[in-house]
Amino acid sequence: MTGLSTSGSYTFSIAASNRKGSSEHSSKSVAVTPYGRPKAVSSVSATATGANRMVKLNFEAPTANGSKITGYQYSTDGGGWNSFGGPGAVIDTGSNGTAHTWRVRALNAAGAGTASPASNKTSAYGPLRDNAKISSSHGKDWIAFSWNQNAGESNGRTVTQTVKIGGSKTKNDGSQKVTGLGYSTSRTIKIVATDTEGQSKSWSKTDPKPARSVILSKGPLYNGYSNSTCPPNCYKYHVELYDFTPGTYTYLATCHHSGGQFSQDHYLSFTINGQGRASKDLPCVVEPGYAEPYFARIDGTESNRTTF
């Protein structure tokens, strides 16, 4: 029997007819409700969730058409049908950064309903990656940082990086060397990555205050010393101090020769400038030509070892 409405229930009775007439009607049947396939989903809105490959399909459940809805299916870009959880459910698109559209249909005892129109075109994207890879190194008056220029690089979204060293914005070129530092507490690099969806992630690294250092070199002629080889070719020790605490101090300055076998101690005044630097000629003798190295120790900090 056709033409019945799925919005109500019906009962039926039957009578037989022939040339002599019609029989009495049978007792009424139990009430039954006609049903058909679900109506079409009117529209679908697709939104990326921010989790890798995941997209949420939002829509209103369609009219069941007489039989309760038992499930939902989606189709990607007009392809085959896959079951999923229904309104507001999240599906796995299989990749990030590739835009797709989706159609949805409902199921009931009568079968699959008419498919919806295609959704808006959307691509999934993932969280910002933890890949800044910051490293640092330093010397007597410099600090160098290196980092990944594509820090944060989100799956499927454009990412912008902001880089600051010591609080000052710098070019995102993957490396930066800050020179002329002298005495300093530290230097910090901070990287902030932000994608077009408003997600952000930050990293920072502080390079510690550089250790104190002493550089030894040959100073001016030392005419105050005389032996079989001096003068004219004897010289003073010349030392340069880096990253000492600014101020004026009396330090024990020790001069060593012949691999440390011979040494001279002097208590000398040093004025350390605001950059943590000082230089001074020490009243110690350098006699060029010796194979064993010279070195100095200022307030416990040992210099490089060198021959002249």
Taking the complete model, does pTM exceed 0.75, yes or no? no
Instruction: Answer yes or no: is pLDDT of 59 > 90.
Output: yes
* Domain termination residue (choose one: 208, 242, 258): 208
**Residue 153, both tokens:** 């690089």
92 Cα distance to chain centroid: 24
Supply the pLDDT for residue 215: 92
DSSP H helical ranges for the chain: none
160 and 272 fall within a common domain? no
13 and 108 fall within a common domain? yes
Instruction: Answer yes or no: is pLDDT of 162 > 90.
Output: yes
Q: Helix (H, G, I), strand (E, B), or coil: what is residue 166?
A: coil
Instruction: Answer yes or no: is pLDDT of 44 > 90.
Output: yes
Confidence band for 25, pLDDT divided at 50, 70 and 90: confident
Q: Tell me the pLDDT of the chain averaged across its residues.
A: 88
Closest CA to 193 of 268, 239, 133, 276: 133
219 and 264 fall within a common domain? yes
16 and 108 fall within a common domain? yes
Q: Is residue 229 part of a domain?
A: yes
- CA distance to 16, 162, 247, per residue, from 32 (Å): 22, 68, 101
**Residue 213, both tokens:** 């250092």
- Cα–Cα dist 75/115, whole Å: 9
Q: Is residue 225 part of a domain?
A: yes
Q: Do residues 201 and 152 lie in contact, with contact meaning Cβ atoms separated by under 8 Å? A: yes
Helix, strand, coil % over all residues of the chain, rounded to 5: 0, 45, 55
Instruction: Answer yes or no: is pLDDT of 293 > 60.
Output: yes
- Cα–Cα dist 242/210, whole Å: 9
* Domain termination residue (choose one: 84, 102, 126): 126
180 and 234 fall within a common domain? no
Number of domains present in the structure of the chain? 3
245 and 187 fall within a common domain? no
CATH number at 157 reads 2.60.40
Closest CA to 161 of 144, 147, 178, 177: 147
253 and 198 fall within a common domain? no
- Cα–Cα dist 129/155, whole Å: 8
Q: Do residues 116 and 45 lie in contact, with contact meaning Cβ atoms separated by under 8 Å? A: no
**Residue 34, both tokens:** 């006609």
180 and 288 fall within a common domain? no
* Domain termination residue (choose one: 191, 208, 225): 208
13 and 120 fall within a common domain? yes
Q: Do residues 308 and 235 lie in contact, with contact meaning Cβ atoms separated by under 8 Å? A: yes
Mean pLDDT on 79-94 = 97
162 and 178 fall within a common domain? yes
Q: Is residue 307 part of a domain?
A: no
Q: Which domain holds residue 62?
A: 1-126
Q: Is residue 308 part of a domain?
A: no
- Cα–Cα dist 105/100, whole Å: 17
Instruction: Answer yes or no: is pLDDT of 1 > 90.
Output: no
CATH number at 105 reads 2.60.40.10
105 and 147 fall within a common domain? no
Q: Is residue 185 part of a domain?
A: yes
Mean pLDDT on 32-40 = 86
pLDDT in tens, 102-138: 999 999 999 999 999 999 999 999 899 999 999 998 8
151 and 180 fall within a common domain? yes
Q: Helix (H, G, I), strand (E, B), or coil: what is residue 85?
A: coil
DSSP letter at 306? Answer: B
